[in-house]
């Protein structure tokens, strides 16, 4: 049996499918205490059963909410922070490649909200728990798609709610990932004296539900990274 008192804690967003799910499985195999975010009890039960088929003694906590809504991000972050005053690893993995514009109920473009605002806000909310751990790590899942960002205008891009086509979506996705990379660099600078290390990573080309095009599109999949 794993000694829970000595387990390192890893928080992973977007762990109910794709590379986030694979990462959760690997962390579980190594004996980490998993803290996973999800939007539904159904997905939580499904990934819980899957992980425990390969790591029967895995300890898993689920926190529920919609990462496109900043009020949910803050609430989830505060709930995690209260239960876990020390967090060893934070993996901001949840991401979205939208093929048409969708505006959240809070007035943000959904792709910017999920890909950039949510990881930024969650990291800020969990910052003290990360600092409290010895040599904590933050991993922000970025992408080489950031190279295909087109014209970059920070303020305008954060507030842009205009419609876009499937073809135009790639540049907007790239902008959101470039913002993640820039955020990671500044985060590393600010946390330099705390022992917390922040990194951005490109998982490479892979096939997951993140990049699935609408029906009727000639290109069935886009790179999830």
Q: How far is it, in rounded angstroms, from Cα 164 to Cα 101?
A: 6
Q: What sections of the chain are H helices per DSSP? A: 18-29, 41-54, 70-83, 110-112, 118-125, 127-132, 154-159, 166-190
Q: How far is it, in rounded angstroms, from Cα 105 to Cα 123?
A: 22
Q: What angle do CA 205, 211, 214 make, to 5 degrees?
A: 145
Other CB atoms within 10 A of residue 166 CB: 16
Other CB atoms within 10 A of residue 84 CB: 18
- Take residue 135 and report the two structure tokens written for it: 């040599």
Query: Which whole-number Å values give the CA distances from 101 to 108, 109, 172, in the listed order?
Result: 10, 7, 10
What residues are annotated to the active site? 173
Q: What three-state secondary structure class fits 5?
A: helix
Name the strand (E) or helix (H) holding 199. Answer: strand 197-201
Q: How far is it, in rounded angstroms, from Cα 36 to Cα 62?
A: 5
């Amino acid at each position: 049996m794993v000694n829970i008192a000595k387990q390192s804690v890893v928080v992973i967003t977007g762990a109910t499918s794709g590379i986030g799910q694979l990462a959760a499985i690997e962390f579980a195999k190594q004996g980490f205490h998993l803290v996973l975010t999800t939007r539904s009890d159904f997905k939580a039960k499904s990934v819980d059963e899957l992980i425990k088929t390969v790591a029967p003694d895995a300890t898993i906590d689920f926190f529920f909410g919609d990462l496109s809504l900043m009020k949910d991000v803050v609430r989830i972050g505060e709930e995690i922070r209260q239960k876990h005053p020390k967090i060893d690893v934070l993996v901001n993995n949840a991401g979205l490649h939208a093929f048409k514009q969708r505006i959240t109920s809070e007035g943000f473009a959904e792709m910017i909200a999920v890909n950039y605002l949510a990881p930024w806000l969650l990291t800020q909310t969990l910052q003290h728990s990360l600092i409290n751990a010895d040599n904590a790590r933050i991993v922000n899942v970025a992408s080489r798609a950031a190279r295909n960002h087109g014209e970059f205008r920070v303020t305008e891009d954060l507030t842009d709610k205009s419609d876009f086509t499937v073809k135009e979506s790639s540049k907007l996705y790239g902008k959101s990932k470039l913002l993640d990379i820039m955020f990671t660099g500044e985060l590393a600078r600010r946390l330099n004296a705390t022992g917390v290390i922040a990194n951005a990573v490109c998982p490479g080309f892979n096939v997951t539900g993140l990049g699935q095009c609408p029906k009727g599109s000639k290109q069935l999949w886009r790179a999830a990274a």
